[in-house]
Amino acid sequence: MLWIKRILVVAAALLVAAVTLVFILENQSQARLQFMTLQSPELPVAFFVAMGFIAGGLAGVLLSLYLRARLKFALARNRSELGRCRKELDSLREQLSAKSQ
């Protein structure tokens, strides 16, 4: 079963590589981007599209790292509060058992 998964992963990687290669070869025309007064040099359209995908992927990874860190800190805070509440509950139970005896 493991070899089937490996073959599927290799086939998917080869398919992505082939599609990427075809995309790059089909989009060789030169383009220049302009934003306000800034201009880029003339580069292939495929370069700009690939940079857009890479920038989007990096932004997604950075956002997920930030959110994961926030969740870890919240979890640590909740665990410490839970520990304090358990200690308080134990002390209250001890006081209750001491009063009932």
- pLDDT digits over 64-101, tens only? 999 999 999 999 999 999 999 999 999 999 988 888 77
Question: Residue 79: its pLDDT value, please?
Answer: 96
Range of the domain at 60: 2-100
pLDDT at 68: 97
Q: pLDDT tens, 9-67?
A: 899 989 988 988 888 888 778 888 888 888 888 888 888 888 888 999 999 999 999 99
| Count of domains for the chain | 1
CB contact set of 45 (below 8 Å; sequence gap of 6+):
27, 28, 29, 30, 31
- pLDDT at res. 82: 97
